[in-house]
């Protein structure tokens, strides 16, 4: 059913992605423009998200020495776990790229397979982060201990939340891909989640550098 | 199976006309290798306490910035965008705002005696 749309016929078909009021003339071309506009819209979201993280980074950098007699960054951070998290996330960014490559080849199994690997790596990252937070709280370093820790948990926690949302989204998309196959709509969705995942990797690189590396220096 | 053939042909041909926008296996592998190297360099420098405080900060910031560019070029394909480079322009505006917020906050708060 869904494939009727792709094979050049006007995009009137049963696909929910074309708004009712949308005047379709050019068939595939029009549809493609619509999908690429959505990708552009997602770039806009990423840029606003960048500014959100920028604000949290600024807060952290300003407050990082205000430990109020509590533990400092140097005493708290366990670098082996952080290094493992970093390499897991870098690898998952790579595997999400491989998923997009498989999609371009039209290989649905390969696409879902690499997305599953990416999701598994993302889940491993979240598990390590949660265990790190639990460890910190056991050490008596909670979000209300000092301004430094409030800023730390807000920044790192916001990134973790983004990864968790991406994970749920990716699993939902894998189900949709299994049902519908590779269509222009699922193609765009995979492109977008891949962009999102690379973006999270970029944010983590700055968390790793500015929070952890500068913290233990 | 035959259906998928149509999909990939039609779509691939279409994108080909626009200059693609999703890279190749080679570009992903290069990007991945570079990002690993750019993670290990600051890590080794900081963990072994090489260089002074300022030197280490410069290395960490430089590696992070390069890594950001690697991700944009090799993974997010910012260079393969279609003609009017709206994504890139919007991104540059975003980075300008971001640096203003971060550097401005640090600068203002460094004037604040109570904060220290």
Copy the structure tokens of residue B60: 């960490």
Closest CA to A96 of B35, B87, B76, B26: B76
Nearest CA in chain B to A207: B64
DSSP code of A182?
S
Are A182 and B8 within 8 A, CB to CB?
yes
Q: Which of residues 4-63 of B touch A (CB under 8 A)?
A: 4-8, 10-12, 14, 22-25, 28, 31-32, 35-36, 39, 42-43, 46-47, 53, 56-57, 60-61, 63
Phi, psi of A138 (to 5 degrees): -65, -35
Average pLDDT over residues A107-117: 91
pLDDT confidence bin for A32, thresholds 50/70/90: low
Average pLDDT in the A153-179 region?
94
At A153 the pLDDT is 93
Q: Is B96 on the interface with A (CB under 8 A)?
A: no
Mean pLDDT of chain A: 84
A32: chain B residues, CB-CB within 8 Å: 14
Q: How far is CA A47 from CA A1, A42, A53, A119, A175, in A?
A: 36, 9, 10, 24, 28
pLDDT the model gives residue A83: 92
Of A3, A65, A205, nearest to B7 by CB-CB distance is A3
Residue of A nearest to B48 (CA): A217
pLDDT for residue B96 is more than 70: yes
Q: Is B95 on the interface with A (CB under 8 A)?
A: yes
Range with the largest mean pLDDT of A28-37, A98-107, A151-160, A183-192: A151-160
pLDDT tens digits, B31-50: 899 999 999 998 888 888 87
């Amino acid at each position: 059913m869904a494939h009727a749309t792709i094979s050049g016929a006007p995009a009137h078909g049963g696909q929910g992605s074309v708004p009712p009021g949308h005047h379709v003339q050019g068939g595939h071309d029009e549809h493609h423009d619509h999908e690429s506009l959505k990708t552009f819209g997602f770039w806009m979201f990423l840029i606003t998200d960048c500014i959100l993280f920028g604000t949290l980074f600024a807060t952290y950098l300003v407050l990082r020495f205000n430990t109020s007699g509590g533990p400092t960054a140097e005493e708290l951070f366990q670098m082996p776990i952080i290094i493992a998290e970093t390499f897991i996330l870098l690898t998952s960014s790579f595997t999400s790229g491989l998923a997009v490559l498989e999609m371009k080849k039209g290989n649905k199994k390969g696409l879902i397979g690499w997305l599953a690997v990416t999701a598994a790596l993302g889940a491993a990252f979240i598990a390590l982060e949660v265990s790190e937070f639990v460890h910190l709280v056991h050490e008596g370093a909670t979000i209300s201990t000092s301004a430094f820790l409030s800023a730390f948990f807000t920044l790192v926690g916001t990134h973790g939340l983004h990864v968790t949302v991406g994970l749920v989204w990716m699993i939902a998309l894998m189900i949709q891909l299994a049902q519908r196959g590779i269509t222009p709509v699922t193609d765009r969705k995979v492109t977008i989640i891949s962009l999102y995942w690379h973006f999270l990797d970029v944010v983590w690189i700055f968390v790793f550098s500015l929070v952890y590396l500068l913290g233990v220096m | 199976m035959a259906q998928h053939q149509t999909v990939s042909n039609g779509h691939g041909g279409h994108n080909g006309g626009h200059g693609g926008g999703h890279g190749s296996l080679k570009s992903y592998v290069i990007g991945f290798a570079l990002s690993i190297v750019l993670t290990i360099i600051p890590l080794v420098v900081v963990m072994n306490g090489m260089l002074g405080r300022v030197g280490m900060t410069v290395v960490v910031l430089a590696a992070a910035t390069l890594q950001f560019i690697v991700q944009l070029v090799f993974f997010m394909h910012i260079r393969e965008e279609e003609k009017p480079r709206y994504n890139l322009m919007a991104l540059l505006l975003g980075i300008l705002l971001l640096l203003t917020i971060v550097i401005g906050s640090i600068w203002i708060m460094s004037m604040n005696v109570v904060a220290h």
